[in-house]
Structure 1
Amino acid sequence: MGVSAIVALPLLGAILPPLFTRAGRTPALLAALAPSLVALALLWGSAPTVFSGAVVEEVVPWVPSLGLEWALRLDGLGFFFASLILAIGILIFIYSRAYLAGNEPLGTFYAYLLLFQGAMLGVVLADNLLLLPVFWELTSLSSFLLIGFWHHQADGRRGARLALAITGAGGLALLAGLILLGEIAGTYRISELAARRELILAAPVAPVVLALILLGAFTKSAQFPFHFWLPHAMAAPTPVSAYLHSATMVKAGLYLLARLWPVFGQTDAWGAWVTGVGAATMLLGAAIALFKDDLKALLAYSTVSHLGLVTMLLGLGSPAAVFAALLHVLMHATFKAALFMNAGIVDHETGSRDLRRLGGLAKVMPGTAGMGTLAALSMAGVPPLNGFVSKETMLSEVLATRWGDGWLLWGIVVLATIFSAAYAFRYFSALFFGPLRLPEGRRPHDPPALLWGPPLVLVVAVVALGLWPGLAEPLLVAASAAAAGSGREWPELAPWHGFGAPLVVSAAAFVCGAALVWRYQALSCRVLAWALPLDGRRAFFAAQEGLVRGAHCLVARLHLGVLGRYVLLLALVSLLALALGWGTGEGWQPQRPPTPANGLAWIFAGLALVATAAVLRWHHERLRAVLLIGVVGLVVSLAFLHASAPDLALTQIAVEAVTTVLLLLTLFFLPQQDAPRASAPRGAAVVAILVGLAVGLLAWVMMRNEAPTLAEYFWSRSVPEGGGRNVVNVILVDFRGYDTYGEITVLGIAGLVIYALLQGMQEGPAREGLRAWHFPFALSPTRHPLPFAVTARVMLPFLLTAGVYVFLRGHNAPGGGFIAALLVALAFLIQYMASGLCWTMQRLRVDAHLWIGAGLLVAGITGMAAMGLGASFLRSAHGEVHLPGIGPVALASAMGFDLGVLLTVFGAVTLALAQLARLGRLAGFAPNRTPMDPDVSPESSREES
């Protein structure tokens, strides 16, 4: 479980910092550091195994029928990226402790960082094509929380949405590409793809697969033309930028390219697209970075350029270029994280990141200036720092490559190198040297140790890896061998390679870069005037606005707000399905005998339904109409019961009861009666008849053939494999438990969304409108009649007991968690109606949000417990337990999952309906001051006498 623990520790450890925040900021820091330190210790405990060329694997079946496994693999490449994620993450945790203000939720911030760290570890260690996009999307979601952490700032919210939109869309493309790749290869294990390379490349859809995967990688690593989301994500707190945008999130796409290099790496399409896009991104990012005045914007576009450099190297198609790419990933992570932290210190002390307002800070912040200057010089590739080592290796590989039209790639790289030197020189020269320039009223100084300690560690690494680059050789060789194959000649790592073409290019870049900085003012005016209209974000938002307008036009044509139109559309679709079936020429005669039925019973049921619906049609009083709708549902439940479907009947009854309560609550905001109609809607009757005939015929056609079903399969396996005689319940909590878990997750989200929407109506103009609501009918003088309140309280224990009974019997008799949840929710909702919201909420003290979270947690832990025992996710265990005085009792682990269903459904229903009840309190009612319980105190008796 070592590899699983490396991934699980940060994910589970995210719970700790918010809990320890109450004890202080330092305990929260220690709680955040503990999972990362333990995970790093476990990781480096496997170093001898990994450096020897072996791998550590862990595979647990998850959803075997889909090919989804909890498959983790620790090889040299995964070890390399995991080390960066954990090591730099530890420094970020320490830095954040001093950077964030005392009134900011540090525990929540650490929780988001740990979630992101765990997701990134899952990405680089996953060995399953379906597991990888799960973690991939988790990185997008957690980064959304981190980028938008300062949600009170519009730029932060906008940057988070932009990053999520771009990376999320790329993630969908990646998911499609990985599924196709797994189907082509006949395996979803990533480690087995290289052996099936010829099979994959020979497939007709191989170009589509490659395009989808590259789209996912390019969006994640901010490659042109998707690069614009990264600079706008700089609205995040500086620790987020230093972590996500230097060593982790933006490197996920690079990791994916390196991981799939053995499969696609030496194909023409890979070389053309990866190298071309990388070179374009490298040049564009470097050119834009030179003309940015905001420190973080300059570093952001610099990151875009360096990501393009690594992408270009991975596209060259040689193992040595892969080694150079990974070398630069390491060097860039050290100096860029140090630079982001350095910019954060400057912002923290001066209150500004604008180079036009800052200058000469070395006079007041000498330590910060020294660290920033060394990191910037490394970014420029100045010897003897680590950036020089990776730049020399990169230039050597590019010089040995012919791409495009002769020396095209060489020219692009030389030009980008000049721009890179220029913006690096500008960073430290304009910021730390020259006359002292400060925002008014600021007196900056070097920060406390917690703030400058982490960047100092990185700067020491910058110098050490520049002087002794061989320190990283075992790590880089292991990673390169895992990506490009072992037994190869790797470039030599040395602080000095002698005089040659790469050194000449570097020297020319330094001279030209210094000249650009010298002539910056004159150059910037012309370039900015030309490039001002060019903004990727504007193009994205323009395209997004056009898409929204198109969607509005489509919705306006389809959704006209007329119920009859919707019903007619349903009828037309059903008739179209019937016409398509007729066109196949398969015949319309049933191929199996009809199921015997009591004709008289069905006639009476049909008459009851028609009569109730007819009465509903001609009644204008809304309350009576709601009750009649409930009668229709009860008649349907009798039909289910007659067809030997007691579970469906119970579910229908429970749903009808809760739905009736919901409609009664909504009646509070509606007139008592419908508006009178001028004429009878004859067209509606025609549409209704068409719908009834079309849906009925469609159902008959679907059931007419003798098709193989799963009924016999589930019936025969329900007891021996699921441990229950209620086949329906066993299907829901065992055979198809994964589907059920997804459904209760959606239901929980729906409850939270309803809560959020109705919560918004309690503020602002909506609140004032509710308070000014004038009812068109008289209100009862007694809002909560005492007989109703007393009766409801008597019913409460009986309904709760019925809910528990239905839950406990659900595995072997009609019932289960869903029906029990509706009964329990109904018990409390009746209390809301009988005694009022305040009275009920004072006694039901557990927040419904917690019920939803607890339900999902219990259901998930039940499923993962099965995985911990070597079974598939949500695989049920069952048996008999002998209890003293009772005897043998049949138990199944699926009961835990069913309990999660109960809690989630109860929480979602209660949360939504209670929030609707809250709106009623605002609408024209003063707070109710009448006691709900009779006062039987002696004082009260004396007053009455």
Structure 2
Amino acid sequence: MYVPLVVLIPTLGAIAPALAGRLGRAGCAAVAAAVSLSALAVLLSLAPAVLRGEPVALHLPWIPGLGLAFSFFVDGLGLFFAGLILAMGLLVIVYARYYLAPADPPGRFFASLLLFQGAMLGIVLSDNIILMLVFWELTSLSSFLLIGYWSHLAESRQGARMALAITGGGGLALFAGALLLGDIAGSYELSTIIRRAEVVQASPLFGPTLALILLGAFTKSAQFPFHFWLPHAMAAPTPVSAYLHSATMVKAGIFLLARLWPVFGATEAWFLTVAPIGLATMVIGAWIAIFKDDLKAVLAYSTVSHLGLITMLLGLGTKMAAVAAVLHILNHALFKAALFMSAGIVDHETGTRSMARLGGLRRAMPITAALALTATAAMAGVPLLNGFVSKEMMLESAWHATYAGQPWLFPLLATAGALFSVAYSARLAAVVFFGKETHPTGSHPHDPPAGMWAPVAVLVAPVIAIGLLPGLAQPLVEVVAAAVVGSALPEFQLALWHGLTPALGMSLAAMAGGLAMLLVFAPIERIRDALPRPDAKAMYEAAVRGGAAAAHAVVRALHTEDLTRYALVIVLATVGIGTFGFVTGSHAPGTRATLEASLPAVVGWGALAVACVIAVLRHQDRLLLLLVTAVVGLMVSLAFLHFSAPDLALTQISVEVVATILMLLALNLLPKTSPRETARPLRFAQAALAGASGLGAGLLAFAVLTRDYLPISGYHIAQAKPGGGGTNVVNVILVDFRGYDTFGEIIVLGIAALVIFALLELSARARQAAGRAARAPAFRTGDAHPIMLVVTTRLLLPLALTAGVYIFLRGHNLPGGGFIAGIMVGIAFIMQYIASGYSWADERFRFDPQRMIGAGVLLAGLTGIGSWAFGYPFLTSTHGHIDIPLIGDVELASVILFDLGVFLVVVGTVLLALATIAAVESIGDQKPADARTPADEPKPSPASRVRIEQEEHV
């Protein structure tokens, strides 16, 4: 039961630093550190069992029908990555407390950092692959916020967009691959998929599944040719770079490869694809890093190279290569995070990251220099440091790899990658910390406060310890590697000396070659500059421009601000798809007996036909068209009532009333009539298309309704009372059986209301800024608020609200419910706004519609989440009887809280739409102050004057 807490603590705790923003950097950092430390403590409590070889798992059903569950699984691999995420997060939080400038908003930074931390923990601890994908996308979104934290910088915005586009696109591919993988294996649980590896490998869909999954992993971990996004993400603050690009985000793809290694690792397709991609990334990234001037750019491309190294090791498909990959994941996280933090210290103290402007800093910053040089040496693979141990294992694995029948290819390219790694590491150390002391004029570099270099020292300590005593890491590596390969490991020993081996010779050659390359760096750089080289960033930008141009072309063709054109496209597509289905599918009607046409039905059809004819002939008269549309809705309500569906009839008529009033108010902002849209020949074509659409819809309805089928309504009727605790089948379906659909619908309704608000508010601001009336009212009575209407609506308001409460409470057993009650209450408030004016009503009804919508969605969601506490799927309901004093026995269902959320969303939506339309109308009716004359001032009618005098007297 403790496993989800590791994920939930930082995910939900992300709000804590945001609320503590007023406490400054120190306060926000303390809050964020407390959150991370709490999650780490829970994780450590699980560690003893996992290290004993006893994985900890928890399974909570969410949407069983879709194979989605809250399944968490902590084995050696998950424990290892979760520990890295939390431990590195703590160090980064401490470092960021000193790195951030006073002007940087700390609450937003630490909140985004914790949200990202929770998402990463979700990835590495999820046992359900669909749940993992949810967290996968959350890492893309939260990293977008972190990379673009300095939003005032163009490079930050560009880097954030690029990272989101590349990783988001890969996430879509991964989603498709995960669906295929789960379908093949018959389960979306990763532990089950791993056990059914042979079934997956034997499937004809194995190839596409593998390709889609690898595409998602490669984009996330910046593998060639998607490597270019990571260096551009370095526009983020250095703590973000140290966290995201050393131990977390870029390792998400590596984790996925490691987790699915038992499923794909033993196959030839895996070796032929993953190993060469990783090797190419390793060499290309290291080669580019040699020539970079920006410190973070060097570290970024070196990160690309080391990610390629780990990918290559996992791609080789051997158990010892997997062991080497696990060790290097640990080593790289340690020395690369230390290097990023050191680069941030240099930038913080000197004001630049340009190596051309830096030199000899070992004298001015001795502590920083000592730590950074140690980490740099580990990155180069110098003996007695941790990077040497894993580099030797990498070269040993490459020595035994044969690709395309060529045993020399992998050893040669692996040695080249190691050589380039020595070159860029040596250049970084020599230029920045040795030679003549150089730094920008006006800066006085010195070692920062201890709180800033202490996290670097904490990271460098295990770099040295593992380098001197590699056996210290052996127990951890064994547990993690065993979880990766899914079976027993061969015997191995982590040690500094394994004798005179080919790997040692390759390592010495790389060391000598890298130092030699540094000596002749200038001519090599000139040759490199003279050679043509592809620019991945330019290719990406060209693709983006091409996609944008194509999108604009489509928009220009379709988005002509002609509603007739929009309707034409929609109807044409519908008729085309329907015709295709009619021709290729089974379209014959069934044999079910039809009902006799009763007199009420004939009258209703006749009214509908007349209304439709009037709508076609007089569609330019917008007010008449609205009234005719209301007639259609009324006929539909009567049809529901005729077929004994009072709940649906009540809902339909309520919606018609609200929709008609709101549309009537909206029409007041438009001309009374619309112009003729098209010429006569095109109108005939449109009429033919409309006729074909209507005929097709009618034939489809007839064919479907006359076929024999087994309806599900019998189950709903039978289970409404015992399963849902209510006799109103419609309401039980909405809030219980299909509650998840309703939850999605109220979210959509709330979003639609907010969109209406945003669009109309923008229009209102534009009109207000223009300083003129957008239109002249078509008609204005002498008395805007008749006294009889005002008094009547105020007297009816308590009655209407009481009726709304009554309809809400009875809805589970009789016609009613949250939606209808919300509509009725909305109508009551609408009448107040119409009768007494927006200003009067707004002063007295102090509701915030946006907060009401949010509260409704939140309440509905919490009602569903509450079932998890009892071990049931999302939105599982319960019901029972309680005894209330003075009232007696009352039957209650938990879905009443869900229905209350629906009620709040509906009322909030109606009020938000009403308030926004009223605000726009009030601005549209105003004249500029300098353009008004005494004649423009409104003159109240006698009735209005009486009402005003009465109000003033009161």
* TM-score normalised per structure 1: 0.92
Q: 1:293 corresponds to which residue?
A: 293
Question: How many residues align structurally?
Answer: 940
The verdict on how the C-alpha distance between 1:178 and 1:578 changes in structure 2, with shifts beyond 3 A counting, is closer
The verdict on how the C-alpha distance between 1:598 and 1:512 changes in structure 2, with shifts beyond 3 A counting, is same
1:703 aligned partner, one-letter code: L
The Cα shift of 1:94 comes to 1.6
Structure 1 distance, partners of 2:340, 2:781, is 65
Q: Does 1:449 align with 2:450?
A: yes
Structure 2 distance, partners of 1:129, 1:696, is 43
1:437 aligned partner, one-letter code: T
Aligned-residue CA RMSD in angstroms?
Answer: 3.2
1:183 aligned partner, one-letter code: D
What do the CA deviations read for 1:835-877 (whole angstroms, capped 9, x no partner)? 5655555555554443333233222222222122111211111
1:637 aligned partner, one-letter code: S
* Contact 1:291–1:528 (8 Å) recurs in 2: no
The range that moved more, 839-848 or 20-29, is 839-848
Q: 2:231 corresponds to which residue?
A: 231
Q: 1:140 corresponds to which residue?
A: 140
Q: 1:427 corresponds to which residue?
A: 428
* Contact 1:567–1:688 (8 Å) recurs in 2: no
The Cα shift of 1:769 comes to 4.5
Q: 2:339 corresponds to which residue?
A: 339
1:722 aligned partner, one-letter code: G
The Cα shift of 1:629 comes to 3.0
* Contact 2:146–2:240 (8 Å) recurs in 1: yes
1:16 aligned partner, one-letter code: A
Q: Does 1:483 align with 2:484?
A: yes
SS at match of 1:356: helix
The range that moved more, 727-736 or 257-266, is 727-736
* Contact 2:109–2:146 (8 Å) recurs in 1: yes
2:702 aligned partner, one-letter code: W
What do the CA deviations read for 1:316-347 (whole angstroms, capped 9, x no partner)? 11111111001000011111111111222222
The Cα shift of 1:264 comes to 1.0
1:423 aligned partner, one-letter code: Y
SS at match of 1:187: coil
* Contact 1:62–1:69 (8 Å) recurs in 2: yes
1:537-548 → structure 2 map (5 Å cutoff): 537-548=537-548
The verdict on how the C-alpha distance between 1:562 and 1:920 changes in structure 2, with shifts beyond 3 A counting, is closer
Q: 1:805 corresponds to which residue?
A: 806
Q: 1:520 corresponds to which residue?
A: 521
Q: 1:385 corresponds to which residue?
A: 385
The Cα shift of 1:698 comes to 1.8
The range that moved more, 8-17 or 352-361, is 352-361
Q: 1:67 corresponds to which residue?
A: 67
Structure 1 distance, partners of 2:119, 2:886, is 50
2:228 aligned partner, one-letter code: F
The range that moved more, 657-666 or 582-591, is 582-591
Q: 1:358 corresponds to which residue?
A: 358
Q: 2:199 corresponds to which residue?
A: 199
Q: Does 1:31 align with 2:3?
A: no
The verdict on how the C-alpha distance between 1:580 and 1:417 changes in structure 2, with shifts beyond 3 A counting, is closer
The range that moved more, 845-854 or 561-570, is 561-570
What do the CA deviations read for 1:143-177 (whole angstroms, capped 9, x no partner)? 22222222232222222222122112211211221
Q: 2:933 corresponds to which residue?
A: none
2:637 aligned partner, one-letter code: S
What do the CA deviations read for 1:543-574 (whole angstroms, capped 9, x no partner)? 23323333444455556655555555565556
The verdict on how the C-alpha distance between 1:939 and 1:896 changes in structure 2, with shifts beyond 3 A counting, is closer
The verdict on how the C-alpha distance between 1:578 and 1:75 changes in structure 2, with shifts beyond 3 A counting, is closer
The verdict on how the C-alpha distance between 1:640 and 1:307 changes in structure 2, with shifts beyond 3 A counting, is same
The range that moved more, 754-763 or 857-866, is 754-763
* Contact 1:148–1:159 (8 Å) recurs in 2: yes
Q: Does 1:104 align with 2:104?
A: yes
Structure 1 distance, partners of 2:361, 2:781, is 74
The Cα shift of 1:368 comes to 2.1
The Cα shift of 1:315 comes to 0.6
The Cα shift of 1:291 comes to 1.6
Structure 2 distance, partners of 1:536, 1:259, is 29
* TM-score normalised per structure 2: 0.91
Structure 2 distance, partners of 1:300, 1:480, is 27
Moved >6 Å (runs of 4+) = 676-680, 778-787, 926-939
The Cα shift of 1:694 comes to 2.4
1:160 aligned partner, one-letter code: A
The Cα shift of 1:269 comes to 0.4
The verdict on how the C-alpha distance between 1:509 and 1:811 changes in structure 2, with shifts beyond 3 A counting, is same
Match of 2:721 among 713, 716, 719: 719
Match of 1:700 among 697, 702, 709: 702
1:439 aligned partner, one-letter code: P
Q: Does 1:256 align with 2:237?
A: no
The verdict on how the C-alpha distance between 1:362 and 1:48 changes in structure 2, with shifts beyond 3 A counting, is same
Q: Does 1:44 align with 2:30?
A: no
The verdict on how the C-alpha distance between 1:485 and 1:838 changes in structure 2, with shifts beyond 3 A counting, is same
SS at match of 1:130: helix
What do the CA deviations read for 1:604-647 (whole angstroms, capped 9, x no partner)? 45325624751684375544543443343233222222232333
1:254-333 → structure 2 map (5 Å cutoff): 254-333=254-333
Structure 1 distance, partners of 2:646, 2:722, is 22
* Contact 2:120–2:135 (8 Å) recurs in 1: yes
The verdict on how the C-alpha distance between 1:495 and 1:780 changes in structure 2, with shifts beyond 3 A counting, is farther
The Cα shift of 1:37 comes to 1.3
* Contact 1:770–1:922 (8 Å) recurs in 2: no
The verdict on how the C-alpha distance between 1:370 and 1:734 changes in structure 2, with shifts beyond 3 A counting, is same
* Contact 2:222–2:250 (8 Å) recurs in 1: yes
The Cα shift of 1:314 comes to 0.1
The range that moved more, 162-171 or 749-758, is 749-758
The Cα shift of 1:905 comes to 4.0
The verdict on how the C-alpha distance between 1:806 and 1:525 changes in structure 2, with shifts beyond 3 A counting, is farther
Structure 2 distance, partners of 1:584, 1:402, is 52
The Cα shift of 1:30 comes to 2.7
The verdict on how the C-alpha distance between 1:867 and 1:801 changes in structure 2, with shifts beyond 3 A counting, is same
Unaligned runs of 5+ in 2: 930-936
Q: 2:742 corresponds to which residue?
A: 740
The range that moved more, 729-738 or 822-831, is 822-831
Q: 2:464 corresponds to which residue?
A: 463
The Cα shift of 1:912 comes to 5.0
The range that moved more, 148-157 or 472-481, is 148-157
The verdict on how the C-alpha distance between 1:522 and 1:899 changes in structure 2, with shifts beyond 3 A counting, is farther
The verdict on how the C-alpha distance between 1:457 and 1:831 changes in structure 2, with shifts beyond 3 A counting, is farther
SS at match of 2:343: helix
Structure 2 distance, partners of 1:69, 1:162, is 32
The Cα shift of 1:589 comes to 5.0
Q: 1:218 corresponds to which residue?
A: 218
SS at match of 2:252: helix
The verdict on how the C-alpha distance between 1:842 and 1:15 changes in structure 2, with shifts beyond 3 A counting, is farther
Q: 2:934 corresponds to which residue?
A: none
* Contact 2:24–2:106 (8 Å) recurs in 1: no
Give the fraction of aligned pairs with identical amino acids, expressed as a percent.
52
Q: 2:932 corresponds to which residue?
A: none
What do the CA deviations read for 1:553-599 (whole angstroms, capped 9, x no partner)? 44555566555555555655565566556646967454111134533
1:801-840 → structure 2 map (5 Å cutoff): 801-831=802-832, 840=841
The verdict on how the C-alpha distance between 1:620 and 1:191 changes in structure 2, with shifts beyond 3 A counting, is closer
What do the CA deviations read for 1:420-470 (whole angstroms, capped 9, x no partner)? 112112223222233333334333332223322222211222222222232
The range that moved more, 892-901 or 772-781, is 772-781
